[in-house]
A and B are shown apart, each in its own frame.
Chain A
């Protein structure tokens, strides 16, 4: 397996702030890799370290097994889709897309052909002579994508590329990005704060908090076996049960995560009192107070929703209660 990107104990400090703190990751060639975390967690700084807009305070960033920590951005085999798209306002769409080729010294005819081909690929044919300011958000996003891909980067970096789009468009772009990545076979490194986006698109996800990596794994790993309370809570908002409650329930003194959808209403379980309920469409979310904790449970349509203040009995499968280490 060839490593496309490799962080070796990389730190990036801004004065006293440790934006990235001793991070090591390996990203394989051809992988769709997501960096997930809340804002200020260091995920964007990691992306900028790969692009070359930041230099590590310590550690090494390697791209295809070459230390590029001292290589300027314009000599790295990567291209970026920026969060604000950063399209050049003085150029039309075609010249925006062809910018990298022009810099590389391609002739006018050659770069126009390549730019039009790239615009076709992102489903924006015949838009070449428009100005960037005349396009919608979704269209600008596609132009930014074409502008990066036309240079045939070995790694494509995407900084919250869907953040500015509305829900419908975002879902559509998610599946388009995914199929584009499969078709091109390029390594995609994707930064997002949206856990749903990371889980649905990525082959592997790294969860960041406060400059450190909490967990790296497949979306299923991350969701089913969160290593820390932070991961459990951030990815899919789990019930994080404190150690004393878990000890009473199971005898083990450990913090545990319990997914709301694993909780069922049935006789013979843990008793609790319904605090509130919220209708979510396909499901209904209940907040239930048990001794020492509040548990949320997701009920499917076929279950009758208990009233507020009613006493219910909660059950779950033994392996649904996932034991965790403390936060790192």
Chain B
């Protein structure tokens, strides 16, 4: 046996006798990475939000203060927060509604080749560039775009015009309306809702549905009292993605939609051109707090009881 092999064997013998050392060797590097890069950056961000900016000099004042958080409550900033939270909620709700039948079909009925088709169909859009997808949508939704053309060909332009005339959701064309922003968000984040939902639906044993039916429940009642409660962890997992991704995004509302800003755009501008890093940090803390509150409520309501 070679010398090198002897050393290798002796080391592996030693590690076998001291499994804790092996565990430490395996865990320390990723924990350092997680601790320093992830959590460290997060705490740096949190710290920034407690500083303030001197309005005359534009320099950062390093005294701890809640003044920056106070600024979030100004009408203009409050608008941004509420608009973003509303958009995230609507996108999440719509994603859950659209995902459920697709995920249910994939979990219950798709077998073999059709399962592969399902995974490809859901994942394929994730493989192409995010920017390409968003710009494609801008073209689809534009006044000269395919959607308008379709409505015109079907002589249904009046429906689209009537819809675009609704204040708030409408606008000159879909590509410069909140509806447009919503549609693009929905499209881009949908896979992140479908996949966890499908995983949670797949874990429900078929005998559970038979038992419900056997005990007198019609399909609708089985859906309400058995399938939905058991799929709830998956829905929550998916909504964490769709909710937080929508809250933090600054590219989609930039390209498709109105000029009114969302949190991501505000952070981008305050830390860039405006040089107001404390306010940018305070804005960035909002999604974290919202997610925390959301998950606490979900846990209180028993969303994770079936885990």
Contact = CB atoms under 8 A, between A and B. Distances in A.
B154 interface: no
Given A74-B218, A99-B225, A103-B221, A86 B207 contact: yes
A86 B306 contact: no
A74 B217 contact: yes
A53 interface: yes
Nearest to B208: A86
B91 interface: no
A90 B305 contact: yes
Contacts, number: 65
A102 B216 CA distance: 10
A89 B306 contact: yes
Contacts of B205: 84, 86
A103 B216 contact: yes
Contact of B226 (A53, A79, A88): A88
Interface residues of A, number: 25
B230 interface: yes
Contacts of A74: 213-218
A100 B216 contact: yes
B215 A151 contact: yes
Interface residues of B, number: 20
B214 A99 contact: no
Q: Looking at chain B's contact residues, is the secondary structure mostly helix, strand, loop, or mixed? A: helix
A80 B230 CA distance: 21
Contacts of A147: 215
Nearest to B232: A90
B212 interface: yes
B229 interface: yes
A51 interface: yes
B208 A88 contact: yes
B210 interface: yes
Interface string A51-78: 1110000000000000000001110001
Nearest to A53: B210
Contact of A103 (B210, B217, B229, B302): B217
Interface in A81-133: 82-84, 86-90, 99-100, 102-104
B211 interface: yes
Contacts of A82: 207, 210-211
B207 A99 contact: no
Contacts of A104: 216
A90 B230 contact: yes
Interface string B273-307: 00000000000000000000000000000100110
Contacts of B218: 74
A58 B205 CA distance: 28
A324 to B, nearest CB: 38
Contacts of B302: 90
A89 B230 contact: yes
Interface in B188-233: 205, 207-208, 210-218, 221, 225-226, 229-230
B192 to A, nearest CB: 24
Contacts of B212: 88, 99
Contacts of B225: 99, 102-103
11 contacts: A53-B214, A82-B207, A84-B207, A88-B208, A88-B230, A90-B230, A99-B212, A99-B215, A103-B216, A147-B215, A151-B215
Given A53-B213, A88-B230, A148-B215, 13 more contacts: A51-B210, A51-B214, A73-B213, A82-B210, A86-B205, A86-B211, A88-B211, A88-B226, A89-B306, A90-B229, A90-B305, A99-B212, A100-B215
9 smallest beta-carbon distances between A and B, as pairs = A100-B215, A86-B211, A86-B207, A90-B306, A73-B213, A103-B216, A90-B229, A80-B214, A103-B217
